[in-house]
Amino acid sequence: MPASQSRARARDRNNVLNRAEFLSLNQPPKGAPEPRSSGRKAPGPSAQPPSPGDGARERRQSQQLPEEDCMQLNPSFKGIAFNSLLAIDICMSKRLGVCAGRAASWASARSMVKLIGITGHGIPWIGGTILCLVKSSTLAGQEVLMNLLLALLLDIMTVAGVQKLIKRRGPFETNPSLLDYLTMDVYAFPAGHASRAAMVSKFFLSHLVLAVPLRVLLVLWAFCVGLSRVMIGRHHITDVISGFVIGYFQFRLVELVWMSSNTCQMLISAWTVLRNGTMTDNARTRR
């Protein structure tokens, strides 16, 4: 038996789990009940030595520990970078939220900042585009307005879908307004006002002949709309930047599927016939 005991001791010395840095892995999980015994029993002749299968089973059980008891010795660089950028984003967004509440440093300017944000809202833009489309009498104007209406509807559906998928909250506990609920702009990521402002400004810069001062003012307006959403505490900085990027790609998509003048006229004629038919049915019902 001395030969077998010496082999067992050598095997224990060569076992990696017996090193000092891995001693925590051999400890039982937290909250595990400790076995209770009235006293230590002296080994008698009936005691059987542990079989090799039992030792292997114990080693497997010691290796299958909960994740909370293990230490990640080599964390991922991507995970560290992402968490660091996320912390910086939250910190900077809270610092820029100077109009987020009544006790904020710029609380008196909250109404004016919210008004700037409303200029990038979807409801005023869709309503104004439809009104201009009804009043327009030129084919070129109707073509531009129909494609702008398509871009606005695409923006609302894209932002609402991404927000429902991500469900990120803003840096402050602020309640969305009624207009936000109408356009399904409830969550923070991405910023719908920023994407709409970027898309509309790029659309006007490409399809309208504007003087240089007006072009500069248009770009500044888009930037101020995005900044206003951070100042009132509705969005993070990354939400606004992502909104600008999404708005640009929406403009590129509308340019790829641009509706021609004939297509726009066909859609306008169909809408006119439908509206006249509805008005006729209503008149007959009243009679």
Task: For residue range 63-88, list pLDDT tens digits in order.
Answer: 554 444 444 545 677 778 888 888 89
What's the pLDDT at 240?
Answer: 95
Compute the average pLDDT of residues 238-255.
Answer: 95
Give the Cα separation of 71 and 50 in Å (integer). 31
Question: Which amino acid does the sequence have at 54?
Answer: D
Instruction: Say if residue 201's pLDDT is above 90.
Output: yes
| pLDDT tens, residue by residue, 159-169 | 999 999 998 88
- Virtual torsion, Cα 265, 269, 270, 273, nearest 10 deg: 170
Average pLDDT over residues 191-210: 92
Judge whether 207 counts as a catalytic residue.
no
pLDDT tier for residue 41 given thresholds of 50, 70 and 90? very low
Q: Among 156, 162, 165, which residue's Cα sits nearest to residue 184?
A: 156
How many Å is the Cα radius of gyration of the chain? 33
Cα 235 from chain centroid (whole Å):
11
217 vs 215: CA distance, rounded Å: 5
Confidence at residue 48, expressed as pLDDT on a 0 to 100 scale = 54
Q: Out of 89-93, 130-134, 276-280, pick the least confident.
A: 276-280
Mean pLDDT score of the chain: 79
| Residues across the chain | 287
Q: Which of 121, 193, 207, 236 is catalytic?
A: 193
> What's the pTM value of the predicted model, to 2 decimals?
0.68
Q: Report the pLDDT averaged over residues 169-185.
A: 80
More confident residue, 197 or 274: 197
Candidate list 121, 207, 235, 236, residue with the active-site label: 235
Residue 120: DSSP 8-state: T
Q: What is the structure's pLDDT at 247?
A: 95
Q: Taking the mean position of all CA atoms in its chain, how far away is CA 177?
A: 20
pLDDT (0 to 100) of residue 65: 47
Residue 266's pLDDT is: 87
Tell which residue, 228, 252, 226, has the closest CA to residue 240: 226
The pLDDT value given to residue 38: 46
Is residue 27's pLDDT more than 60? no
